[in-house]
Chains A and B, each alone.
Chain A
Amino acid sequence: MTDQTLTAAEPAPAAAPRRRAPGRHLAGWLLALPLATVLGLFLVLPIIMIVIVSFWGATEFSIYPAFEFDNYAFLIGSDVTYRVFGNTIKYALITWAFTLLIGFTVAYFLAFHVRSLTWQIALFLLCTIPFWTSNIIRMISWIPFLGREGLANSALLSWGVIDRPLDWLLFSDFSVILAFVHLYTLFMVVPIFNTMMRIDRSLIEAAVDAGATGWQVVWHVIVPLTKPGIMIGTIFVVTLVMGDFITVRFMSGSQAANVGRLISNDIALLQYPSASATAVILLVTVLMVIGILLRFVDIRKEL
């Protein structure tokens, strides 16, 4: 019976926004209640908690409520913080560049060069399948490739390109970024492909009829129209890379650090207040980046 009253209110026709019965609001709220509860309990409260704890103090054995700026003062005064943040931004920028380049090319091929819808969907699914398997397994799977005796080194040795195994293939910035590109390119492909599929094909014909070359069509027609997809992909890739700690730890062999690792190291030492302070700074940075990116695209319109 409650369900009946819940959904009894008819959905508001877009054309008549003024004539709203109070019951309609109520139905909307009731439907949104579970969602709001989950996000309130497990997203908003945790963020508030982190902000509060970031002002707490800690001894070697325990943490205690306080209101002091020691954690922030320590972070701002430490060289490590700047180096680690620099490293985080470096990873994010390089990964973004590669995923964008690869993601755009792949999506462009699927959307404009594959002609039948069935093939488009089939090939698109083929790209998304690895996304459904474990990230950690996908990271481990690089080891037989990149190690000192891995496939890459033995191939290069046997071709005579190098005469000594390359050490920088595994446990280096190179392997970290490679893993990032491997894990996250899909987050670029999907939104870009999605926007490209909605581009009116007659626009391209018009451009060709007006004498545009292939490159001109791509650069002056497709890229501008694909911008929303590129922005959404960028938001995904940048935030995933900035918040990551496991890929960096694993693929760098614990040699490199980013902000996520800084936080997870503090957590491992039970230094929750200082982990929280770092987390707050990371959150502010990420939200600033998102804020800037959202100026270029209205995501509600893109759904």
Chain B
Amino acid sequence: MDRRPRSFYVLAAFFGLFLVFLYGPTFTIAILSFQGPQGGLTFPMRGTSLHWFRELFEQQAVGDIWGSFRRSLVLGLMVMVTTIVVSVMGGLAFRKRFAGSGVLFYLIVTALVIPSILVSLGVGLIFGQAGLPVHWSTSGFGAQLTWTLPFGLLIMFAVFNRFDPAYEEAARDLGASGWQTIRHVVLPIIAPSLIGVALFGFTLSYDEFARTLLTAGSYNTLPLEIFGMTTNVTTPVIFALGTLTTVFSFLVIGIFLLIVWTMGRRRARAGSDAGKGMV
């Protein structure tokens, strides 16, 4: 079995093409965002410069990019924290098989599959009829949670399905209270998966467009701002913005991976086997 079959090379080539397909366009706009001042939206490059990035930082005519970025960041963090807390509680709840858990489970599935414009429309209608102003931190926040919570819960379900209850029994035998068991045994063991939940919560919120469309009110989040730009900006400044947001996303992923890595190192040093065999 040591020599690779020919199918391996065919499939590897296919996989390579898939990666080119995935990354190619993004790389293209990254290159094009370095066009000279006379450059347009396509090749050939007319000189290279940082002109369009400068434009992005200076000119306010392109819209309130930095304000919307700040709002998206705050909203993303709000959604992230809420998603972690509610998902962990929900995950624990589903281990107990309470009455009504079946209905709640199907609601979670519904939240996952319902077209996002319906959530946007419905939440917008409710706030409108109740006379409440729509705002990204209220209606937008709630609408986004219906999308991030199902993902968080699915991860928690997967985690708790593979969770060995013997650890909790041991803690209880040693006299730990319910809360102590959770705090000192369960949470540390599931911590690496919580990073995954956090990453999902933040990035899904940060990029969410459809669910925020009718629920963000008069202050745009970044995806809404970018969408507005696509309809009226015809210069590479929009590519510069795309490049910057992509770089930012990579940074966020990098930070999360770094946290996971440091946690792993600390554990290895502390000689604990917590979290092993979880993935």
Q: Is the CB of B145 within 8 A of A42?
A: yes
User: Judging by beta carbons under 8 Å apart, are B118 and A34 in contact?
Assistant: no
B122: CB under 8 A from chain A? yes
Known: A35-B153, A44-B107, A143-B41. A136 touches B118 (CB 8 A): no
What 0/1 pattern do residues 120 to 138 of A give for CB contact below 8 A with B? 0001001101101111111
Cα–Cα, bound, A151→B45 (Å): 12
Q: Flag if A137 contacts B246 (CB, 8 Å).
A: yes
Bound form: Cα–Cα A7–B97 in Å: 14
Other-chain residue from A35, A113, A136 in contact with B89 (beta carbon distance below 8 A): A35
User: B residues within 8 A CB of A36?
Assistant: 104, 107
Instruction: Give the contact stretch, choosing among B13-21, B46-54, B56-64, B264-272.
Output: B13-21
Is B149 a contact of A279 with CB atoms below 8 Å? no
Q: Are A136 and B230 in contact, with the CB atoms below 8 A?
A: yes
A105: min CB distance to chain B, Å: 6
List the B side residues contacting A105 at CB < 8 Å. 11, 14-15
A195 touches B (CB below 8 Å): no
8 Å CB contacts to A: which residues of B1-16? 4-5, 7-8, 11-12, 14-15
> Which B residues lie within 8 Å of A276 (CB)?
121, 125
Known interface pairs A144-B29, A245-B117; A303-B161 also in contact (CB < 8 Å): yes
Report B168-198 CB contacts with A as 1/0, cut-off 8 Å: 1000100001110110000000000000000
Q: Beyond A24-B96, A106-B18, A243-B115, is A46–B123 a contact (Cβ under 8 Å)?
A: yes
Majority SS of interface residues in chain B?
helix
Roughly how many angstroms separate A25 CA and B29 CA in the complex, as a whole number?
54
Residue A214 at the B interface, CB < 8 A? yes
- In this complex, which of A7, A235, A283 has the most chain B Cβ atoms within 10 angstroms of its Cβ? A7
Interface string of A14-37 (1 = CB under 8 A from B): 000100000011011111101110
Is A46 a contact of B125 with CB atoms below 8 Å? yes
Per-residue contact bits, chain A 193-215, to B (CB 8 Å; 1 contact, 0 not): 00000000000000000000010
A-B contact count (CB 8 A): 279
- Chain B residues near A239 (CB-CB < 8 A): 112-115
Query: Closest residue of chain A to B111, judged by CB?
Result: A43
Q: Is A290 interfacial (CB 8 A cutoff)?
A: yes
Given contacts A9-B178, A39-B107, contact A144 B28 (CB under 8 A): yes
Cβ contact within 8 Å between A132 and B252? yes
**Are A49 and B126 touching (Cβ within 8 A)?**
yes
Residues of B within 8 A of A44 (CB): 107
Q: A67-123: which have CB < 8 Å to B?
A: 102, 105-106, 108-110, 113, 123
Q: Which residues of A contact B136 (CB under 8 A)?
A: none
User: How distant is the Cα of A290 from the Cα of B118 in the complex, in angstroms?
Assistant: 16
Q: Does A182 contact B (CB under 8 A)?
A: yes
Considering only CB atoms, which chain A residue lies closest to B13 in the complex? Answer: A109
Cα distance A145–B21 in the bound complex, in angstroms: 11
User: What chain A residues lie within 8 Å of B25 (beta carbons)?
Assistant: 138, 141-142, 144-145, 182
Binary per-residue interface labels of chain A (229-260) against chain B in the complex, 1 for a CB within 8 Å, 0 otherwise: 00000011001001111100010000000001
Residues 224-238 (chain B) with a chain A CB within 8 angstroms: 226-227, 230, 238
